[in-house]
Structure formats: structure tokens, C-alpha cells
Amino acid sequence: MFVYERFCQWLGHLKLSRVILLVTVILFVVPLFTHYYLSKYESMSGLKGANSMRHTLEVLGDISTTNVADLKLRIEEMLRIKASVSTELRELEAKRGRLQREAAAASLKADSAKAEYARAAAELQRLRVSADQARIAQLEAIRRDSPELAPPVQILPSFPPSILPPVSSSAEVHCRMFSCFDYSRCSLTSGFPVYLYDPDVYAPLASAEVDGFLKTTLRQTLGYNAHLTHNPNEACVYLVIVGEAFPFDKSPLSTTDTYKLLLNETAVKSLPYWGGDGRNHVLLNLARRDLSVGSGDAFKGASTGRAMIAQSTFTHTQFRAGFDVVTPPALGPPGGDVWADCAPIAPARRKYLLSFQGSQPTPKVQYTEQDKSLIEHLQKIANSAPASDLFLLQFECDPPVENSASQPIGDWALCGTDRSRRALLRDSTFVLILAPADSRYTTTALLQARLYEALRSGAIPIILGGDGIRLPYDEVLDWSRATLSLPRSRVTELHFLMRALPDADLLTIRRQGRVLWERYLSSVQAAVDALLATLRTRLLIPPRPAAATIGAPAFNESYFPPRVDPPAVDAEPEETLGPLEAPYPSPAYRRNYSVGLVHGYDLWNNWGEPFALYPQLPWDPVVTSEARFMGSAAGFRPVGAGAGGSGREFSEALGGDRPREQFTIVILTYEREAVLAAALARLRGLPYLNKVVVVWNGPSAPGAVSSWPESGAPVAVVRAGRNSLNNRFLPYSLIDTEAVLCVDDDAHLRHDEIVFAFRVWREHRDRIVGFPGRYHAWDLNFNNGFLYNSNYSCELSMVLTGAAFVHRYYLWAYWRALPAAVRDLVDEYMNCEDIAMNFLVAHITRKPPVKVTSRWTFRCPGCPVTLSADETHFHERHKCIQFFSQVMGYTPLLSTQFRADSVLFKTRIPHDKQKCFKFI
């Protein structure tokens, strides 16, 4: 029966006539022959007795005589028929197999055609949306009445300052920018070129006894400054280095001293570009003498014309606010990393609540009544304080400090050695800094030396008499966030104020003091860069653009792998994620001249980066909601034209509070062509993709490959100079967008996940937004710091940059603001670059990262083994967190319990509506 059924199945694939013929032969002819011979055989075998035997013999005799030949022929015919049927059956089986294969192939082709039709229909719809947006962009370009901006083009003078008559001594005191500065040499697009008089070439500087250390250091540090020019004819500002012996600092002046004074003044006024009155000149004095006895005013009694003065000691009558600049003394190293000099920020409260070490120099200077009253009140506070509040107040130095005629009256000298003072300050929550009792002085080098040491050691400065004191670069730095400045009359309330500050405020003030010290005071280079940046900010001139990294092409100009369509992959569930547009770079340098006006204090005090101009910043402001529809609509793509919506309306426009934009994908790879090719193939059809930058991290150039998967966007392959994980964050000039998606070559992300993360990042542009969350956990066993934790947790503090969005600005900040020791450890371990980026962003913003979706990992299951599979991987990451915390003085990572998922996800909505993202 089974054979019959199978045979019927075979017959179903044959033509009708052949089927009828075979059925007739098999079902009728063959059974008739079979039945005939079998019946005869049965009848013969059924006979009984002799008659039967006789009959049988007769029959056999018949057969033997008459039908043997015929029977033989019939049997042979039957065998031939059987062989024929068997052959036919085999042929039918083979043909059936071929037909089944053809039917399966046709079915697959039909399914592929249906899928291709669906993809083509979706792409057609996206292209229609892209065409509509292109038309909108064209109309916006026609209507736009402001040009696209670019980095400033320099407009420079081509002649030296003209000779003008000198100003009178009485007019020098009243010099201000509007009356003594020549703005014509400093156009807004000049770039602020600065010319340095070589102290070894020009006689007045050599005769002024400039410290040899400062000569060498200033040449070196200014050589790194982008504003230095060697062409004096195009300079905006002329920098003159003078020593503390210029003109002479003894009082009263003897006849010889007066002669030296006049000699030095004449020599300075004979400088080749003095211009008769010294306009646009800056006389810089960085004190280097023994600060234990104070440092005098280098320009005491000197005539400086219209030149600005930059030094650390000024009297009220001498200092010209908004014209002269208060600079710190040169106490630090020439430059480089200074993190090793800093004390950790935690704990908030240290051994001593308040400390002070200082003495009036000998021979004994009589304390003023004000000083006596101040000392009595301080001692009374220390004696009446509870045992938990320790004070260390020392008003006499041992051995006594020698007197200096140049020291202001009442200016307290430093006691002990630098090491002993540092040890005390590291144990002090607050440190007392007394303003000079001599009310003529608004700042002194000794006062600033105390400020420098306090900030370096993390002791919060309390400046008594601070209402009459000027601190370094105070026209741009907000010292109220790093110091407590009190009038002397509030000394009785000092203890109450110190106890009223909670730990969070103490740590915030201490952290801000460390930031200001590191960036503007810690080294000679930091001080000089801050001086020039202050003058440039005063003139409203934007800084020079930050230099982008020029990536070396991995392929030469004559060869690039040919592009081919990637192989067919399992299609994702149909979901419109956004239009497929041509590459659209983020508008750059639109705030060249406004960022300093709107965010001037933020640049100096929050971000600490007033030294360079960036194409965009994460903190660029947004317009108001109605402005997007009234006069400022250029670039915006509101959802549903402003009416909102979900599903297709949502996907056809980015919406939000920002204009349209795209993102760049940066892939770091190391000689894994197959893995890289698969990663590029997965990007095909990804909306909002501007460009793919592949960083080839291998020591050898990529080999010639037969084909390169088409990702749907331009692909640029750059070859790194060396194998380093830091190369992931190089600010390549190829990156044209603010949004940068950093991914590993083996990261496997769906398109909807990437687009969703991009939309979330647009709402949190100053943070890291990504998928794999991690946590820094306290070491419970040894209490010696934090450990790296990759377990599932309800809190997280890091998002790994193997699959995360960051703002382009942070790529520069990684190389400019992050201490070099951090990057060196990354190179040593070949690990932890993602932790370093999380430390940097959290340090700048004081915000945690944003994790999107429930995805916890992003590795593709079939990819080769990665570095994270090594057993030492996690041990190194523990060490990285602890070392980075030591370098930065604290652990900037902040914990969060927030995760971003799609609006309307798992929400019941009407059947005629769609969710924003179906599967997120």
C-alpha cells in the first residue's frame, strides 16, 4: 500500500497521457497475466488422488509438449516488463527530485522578491521623505539671510606701530583700554598674534636681570602657544619680560639707584616697536625671588607709558582695573603633568579645621592695633572651640624671618619649608590667609604664594580682608567658588561659618579650587597661557581653532576596495526608522564671536577651556519653542510639522529642540578584515548615518581585499601611527558631525537601537549615551578604593564606549584636558580607555552617563575572542579606576538608577496609532 501511494505521488508529476498509459498497463494488464497463471497453478495443485495425478501428468505432459516454449516466452516478457517498470520508476524518482528542487528554489526566489519589494517600498518611502526634506532645506537656504560661518580668517596689520608722542606721568595712572590701547592692530579676526621680545637680544631685558630659568621657560612655553608670532609687523600685543630688579626695588632711591632706574626706563622705551608711548605692550614680571621675605613691586616709581603691567604685587593707586593684570608668581614647574603635587579631595573634613603659619619679619615690626585685635580673636576662637574642632594657629616663625624693605607692612611671611607647609595644609580643612595690614596694597606675591599652596594641597582658603584684595585673573575667574573671602570684621563669625558648610559644599569648593589651580596657576606655561587668554577675552577675540587630527589614509589614492552589496541577511521586522539622506555635516563655528559673551564665565570656570575654539560645544543653547515656528525655523524638523504624532509621523522627522543632524560612526579595528566587513554590512540602510571612520590600529597596512561591503554611507579608513586604544578618541578632521558613535568592530547593534540611542543623545548632548552599563563598586575587603563591576545592577556609573554616543568636543578634551598619565596607563595596559572617557565626561559635567534599552552587552556571539575574555582584563580595570582617581584627586563617576526606553513602549494605544519604536 505504501508503494502504491508513493507511486501515485510520482504519477502526479507526469503528463496526463503518460499517466493514463502507465496506469492501464500496471493496473489491468499485469494483474490479468498474473491471475491467469496463478489460477492454473492452484487448480493443478488442488487435484486429489490418481485422477488428479493423472490429470496433472496430462497437464504437465501438455505443458511439456505444447506450452513450455510459450510459458518461457511469457516469463521473459514479464521480467522485461518488470525491468522496464523499475527503470521507469527510477526515472520518475529522479525527475520528482528535480521538480522538488526547482519548486523550492522558486519558492525562495518568490520570498526574496517579496522581501526585496518590501525593502524597496520602504526605501522609496524614505526617499520621498528625504526629497521633501531636501526641498525644505532648499527653501531654508534661499530664505536664510545669514551666511554659513567657518573658522575665522585672519585680518592682520602689515606695518609696525607708528611713532606717537609719549604720555605724561599723570596720564599713565588713568590708562584704560579705551584710552591707551590701539584696537586697530587687533581685529576680531586677527587671531590675537603675540610678539615676544627675546630677552637675550634686547639690552634692557638683559640689564633687568631676568632670571635665566624664566628666560628658558618662557621661550619654551610660548613656543607651544598658538598665538605666538615671529613677525612683529602683524602683532597685536608685544610681550616684554622684565626682572624684579627693573627698575629697582629699594626705597628710598639713592643717586646710583635713580641712575639705574632712568637707564632701564630709557632702554625699555627704546625697544624697536615701542611706538613712542608703549601702547599694546605688556610688561610681565613673574616673581622668582625668595618668597619667605616677600617680593616688591618691580615697577615702583617707573614710567611705563601706555604699556600694561602684569605682575603679582600692586598697590591700589598703581593698579589700573581692566587694564593691568594680576598674575601669580612663577612657583610651579615649566609645564607638564602636575597631578602628583595635588592632595586628594576626600575626605571632606581633615584633622585641623583651620590652620595658619606666618610671622612678621624681624627686626620686629610693631603689630598694628588691627592686627593685634585680629590675633586675639583668632586665639580666642581656637581656645573656645570644642575638642572635635582642632585649630593650629602659629603667629611666630622659628627661626625668625629676616625683614625685607620691599615687603608690605603687615604682610605675613611664610614659615618653615615647602614640605612642612604642604604637610600641614594636607591636614587642614581650611587655611587662613590674611590680607596685608598695609591698606595701600591690593595684592602681594606672598599672599598669592599662600593661595597657590592652599589650592595645591586642597585646603580651602579663607581670606580675611578679602574685600580689598585682587586675585589672579579675577576678571575672568570666579574666585567666590573656590575661596571664602571675608572682611576682617567678620573674624568673630569665622567659626560659625566654617561649621555651617556641609560636606558636599566643602568638596565642591575644594574641587573647584583644584580645577583653577591645575589650569591657570600650577605651572609657568599655565600662568602665561592664562595671561594671554585673559587679554584676548578682554578684546572679544575668539581663540584659534583647535587642531584636528589628520588621519593617514590606509589605502593609497590609486586603490580602494570595490564596493559590493552585502549578502542578504535576515530582514529586521518592518519599521520605519528615519529618512535615508545624503551626508549632512553639523553646522560648525556658528558661535565664533558669541560663545565668549554667553558662556564666558563657563568657559573659564566650568569647562576650563578658554584656550581654543571648537566647531561646536555640547552646551550650545537652543531657541525657545515658539521661535522654531516664528523666524528661526531653519533646520528644524518638528514631528508632524509641529502637531506631534507617533509611528510614521515620528520617524519621518527628528523633532526635539535641536535642528536636524546626523552622526558619524568611528570603528576601531585591529587586523580583522572579516569582522570589519561584517560590521560594515550591518550598517546598510541605517538612517542619519553621515560617515563611517574606520581606525586601522594594526602595525601593518590593510591588505588588498577583493570587495568592501557597501554600508550606504561614505567609509574612510585611516591608519593609526601606533597601536593604541587611545586612537579611538582622536579628533579626526574626517568627523563632520557633533554626534560620534564609538563602536567596536565586533559590536552587534540593531538599527532601531542605534537610532533610538541617537535620539536620546540629542536630549543629553553633554553626556555619554550608550548600551553596556557598568558600575564602580567600593572595595569592601580592603577599603582602599573602588573596583570595576560588570555584574547586573540597578545602578550604573559608566557606559562603555564600545557602543556609545559622545559629543565631538570630548575627543579634543580627551587629549587636552585629561592628564597625560591617564593615557599613558591606557597604553601600558592596552585597556581602560572607556573608563578614562567616563572619568573625563563626569569630571567636566558632574553628571552620570545615560544607558539606553535593556541591553547589557553588545558582543556578537560568533565573533573571535576579544581582549575582555582575558582573566587579567578585570584586574587591570580595577587598577585603572584606582589610578585615575589618584591622578584626578577624586573619583568623578556618579551613580544613576535611570535608564532610557522608548516612549509608548509596552503601552496600550489605539489600533490606528503606532508606537515610537516597536521593539524598544
**Among positive and negative, which fits the CA dihedral 65, 70, 72, 74?**
negative
pLDDT at 704: 61
Contact 847, 768 (CB under 8 A): no
**Choices 3.40.50.2000, 3.40.50.1260, 1.10.3720.10, 3.40.50.300: CATH for 339-522:** 3.40.50.2000
| Mean residue pLDDT across the chain | 83
**Which residue from 376, 453, 341 is spatially nearest to 887, judged by alpha carbons?**
341
The burial class, CB within 10 Å (0-12 / 13-18 / 19+), for 11 is middle
- For residues 772-786, average pLDDT: 89
Q: What is the CA radius of gyration of the chain?
A: 43
Model confidence pTM above 0.95: no
pLDDT score of 253 more than 50: no
Top-confidence residue, 2 or 560: 560
Looking from the CA of 84 toward its CB, the CA atoms found within 13 Å total 10
Strands 228-229, 194-196: pairing kind: parallel
- Candidate from 26-30, 44-48, 662-666, 715-719 with smallest mean pLDDT: 44-48
pLDDT score of 407 more than 60: no
pLDDT at 26: 66
pLDDT at 805: 98
Cell digits of residue 762: 540629542
Site of grid cell 574641587: 511
pLDDT score of 527 more than 60: yes
C-alpha to C-alpha distance for 852 and 831, rounded to whole angstroms:
24
- For residues 601-620, average pLDDT: 91
pLDDT score of 192 more than 90: yes
Contact 358, 453 (CB under 8 A): no
C-alpha to C-alpha distance for 794 and 605, rounded to whole angstroms:
34
551 contact partners, CB below 8 Å, separation of at least 6: 693, 695, 716, 718, 719, 730, 732, 733, 734
**pLDDT, tens only, 75-106:** 888 888 888 888 888 889 889 889 999 999 99
C-alpha to C-alpha distance for 272 and 263, rounded to whole angstroms:
16
SS3 of residue 352 by DSSP: strand
Helices (H), 640-750: 648-651, 673-681
C-alpha to C-alpha distance for 628 and 49, rounded to whole angstroms:
119
Catalytic residue chosen out of the listed positions 132, 834, 870, 901: 834
pLDDT at 292: 47
Residue 607 parent element (H or E): none
What backbone phi and psi angles, to 5 degrees, belong to 792? -65, 130
What backbone phi and psi angles, to 5 degrees, belong to 718? -115, 145
pLDDT score of 389 more than 50: yes
Top-confidence residue, 15 or 544: 544
**What residues does each domain of the chain span?**
2-143, 169-326, 339-522, 552-583+658-900
pLDDT score of 591 more than 50: yes
pLDDT at 879: 94
Contacts 24+ apart (CB under 8 A), 263-268: 263/207, 264/204, 264/207, 264/208, 264/302, 265/302, 265/303, 267/203, 267/204, 267/207, 268/204, 268/240, 268/242, 268/304
656 contact partners, CB below 8 Å, separation of at least 6: 759, 762, 763
- For residues 464-489, average pLDDT: 94
Contact 554, 668 (CB under 8 A): no
What DSSP line would sit under 843-865, residue for residue? HHH----EEESS----B-TTSPP
Contact 442, 312 (CB under 8 A): no
- Candidate from 7-11, 374-378, 492-496, 884-888 with smallest mean pLDDT: 7-11
pLDDT score of 364 more than 60: no
Top-confidence residue, 57 or 565: 565
Measure Cα distances from 646 to 394, 751, 914, 916 in Å: 71, 18, 6, 5
**Among positive and negative, which fits the CA dihedral 698, 704, 709, 710?**
positive
**pLDDT, tens only, 870-909:** 678 889 999 999 999 999 999 999 999 999 988 777 666 7
pLDDT at 251: 45
C-alpha to C-alpha distance for 909 and 707, rounded to whole angstroms:
46
Instruction: Go through 618-645 and write b for each residue having 16 or more CB atoms within 10 A of its CB, e for each that does not.
Output: bbbeeeeeeebeeeebbbbbbbeeeeeb
**pLDDT, tens only, 142-180:** 666 556 666 667 788 888 898 888 888 888 899 999 999
Q: Does 3.90.550.10 match the CATH number of domain 552-583+658-900?
A: yes
pLDDT at 205: 54
**pLDDT, tens only, 624-660:** 989 888 888 788 888 888 888 888 888 888 988 999 9
Question: Among this protein's residues, is 834 annotated catalytic?
Answer: yes
pLDDT at 207: 46
- Candidate from 56-70, 109-123, 339-353 with smallest mean pLDDT: 56-70
What percentage of residues in the chain have a pLDDT greater than 90? Answer: 44
pLDDT at 798: 96
pLDDT at 52: 46
What DSSP line would sit under 476-514, residue for residue? T--GGGT-EEE-GGGGGGHHHHHHHS-HHHHHHHHHHHH
SS3 of residue 807 by DSSP: strand
What backbone phi and psi angles, to 5 degrees, belong to 708? -130, 125
**pLDDT, tens only, 417-470:** 888 999 999 999 999 999 987 888 999 989 999 999 999 999 999 999 999 999
Contact 649, 673 (CB under 8 A): no
